[in-house]
Structure 1
Amino acid sequence: MNMLLKTLAAVAAGTVLATNTLAESTTAVSVASPYVTIDNEPPPKLTVNPTPLAAGLAHGIVWIQYRVENVHIVPVFGAAALNVSPRIGHLHVHIDDVPWGWVEANNVNTISVAGLPPGQHKMLVELVDAQHHLFAGCTECRQTVTFTVPEDASHSH
């Protein structure tokens, strides 16, 4: 009987430790859960790394990393999606002031562009809502990076 009580006490202590650890680990996560509506969501924010990853440039591929805050990047579009909480959106990407661009709607944190000729280029990245508009009042939702594709880059991809 004494052994059973010791075993039960050990299991109870382990459960308390596991519960405390779980509580601490969930409060340490700073990303909003998609299961809970957020009241007074903080404004969205976009951070674009101004330097392409060197491993890609050596092969003529431009990899620009980015991070978003207070927005989930998903391929969901339309007016009804404007009322979703936590907030959702996607990126618009333009190269060298051409009148067309593309949508990045996956959250892989890296924009990939291949086939650019050697020389200096400019990439405009915009964080937009489900109807393709910049988020209202978001000063960090539009960023431009300038980079150079080296002359000696291998363009075999």
Structure 2
Amino acid sequence: MTMPTNTLAAIAAGTLLATTAFAQSARDVRGATPYLSVENEPAPRLIVDPPLAEGLAQGVFWAQYRVENLRIVPVFGAGALQASPRIGHLHVIVDDLPWWWADASDNNTIDIAGLPPGKHKVKIALVDANHHVIPGQVVTVPFTVPASAKPAHEHHDD
């Protein structure tokens, strides 16, 4: 069976449009190249998913996150504030404790183990290289570890 030329052209054009409509450039997905300064950088943004139920069942908080318009790297200090594209890291606080820890790993998941059953919250702040919170970029995630939570394994230091 032979198709008319105009039908083949329409199929080819439709395929090309569908392919380019779904294709994203590396820059679209990964952000700006580190080799060039970014003029007028958009504001950084922190997105945090709810914790995974599989972790909570073991007394573990696993919440995936992503950051836009900022790269999470283990670089600190005043000089790093001038970097472009912008760099920073996360501060993580559990249950309003008076201390926090810095996470500069960018492994896309916060992992906190050993939580007892009950209500908890984790506050995740996106901060610059000098530990200053980026305005509006603090996410508080409330959650409950079920009474039936069974730790995956016990760890004892003797």
Same fold (TM > 0.5)? yes
Shift, 1:156, TM fit: 3.0
In 2, distance between residues paired with 1:72 and 1:109?
Answer: 12
Give 5+ residue unaligned stretches, structure 2: 1-19, 154-158
Amino acid at match of 2:145: V
Match of 2:119 in 1: 120
Shift, 1:35, TM fit: 1.7
In 1, distance between residues paired with 2:62 and 2:30?
Answer: 26
In 1, distance between residues paired with 2:25 and 2:67?
Answer: 22
Match of 1:78 in 2: 77
Aligned residues: 131
Match of 1:105 in 2: 104
> For each residue in 1:62-113, what CA deviation from the matched residue of structure 2 results, as whole angstroms up to 9, or x when unmatched?
1011111000000100000000000000000001111011111011111000
Q: Are 1:33 and 2:33 matched, yes or no?
A: yes
The 3-state SS of whatever aligns with 1:65 is strand
Q: 1:29 to 1:110 in 2, by over 3 A?
A: closer
Amino acid at match of 1:109: N
Match of 1:144 in 2: 140
The 3-state SS of whatever aligns with 2:142 is strand
The 3-state SS of whatever aligns with 1:85 is coil
> For each residue in 1:122-157, what CA deviation from the matched residue of structure 2 results, as whole angstroms up to 9, or x when unmatched?
11110000000012xx32x11111000111111133
Amino acid at match of 2:149: A
In 1, distance between residues paired with 2:74 and 2:104?
Answer: 5
Mapping of 1:17-28 within 5 angstroms?
Answer: 25-26=25-26, 28=28
In 2, distance between residues paired with 1:28 and 1:74?
Answer: 20
RMSD: 1.7
| TM-score, structure 1 normalization | 0.77
The 3-state SS of whatever aligns with 2:80 is helix
Question: Contact 2:72–2:88 at 8 Å: present in 1 too?
Answer: yes
Q: Are 1:156 and 2:152 matched, yes or no?
A: yes
Shift, 1:26, TM fit: 4.4
Amino acid at match of 1:42: P
Shift, 1:25, TM fit: 3.9
Shift, 1:57, TM fit: 1.6
| TM-score, structure 2 normalization | 0.77
Give 5+ residue unaligned stretches, structure 1: 1-20
Q: 1:26 to 1:69 in 2, by over 3 A?
A: closer
Shift, 1:47, TM fit: 1.1
Q: 1:100 to 1:80 in 2, by over 3 A?
A: same
Equivalent pairs: percent with the same residue? 57
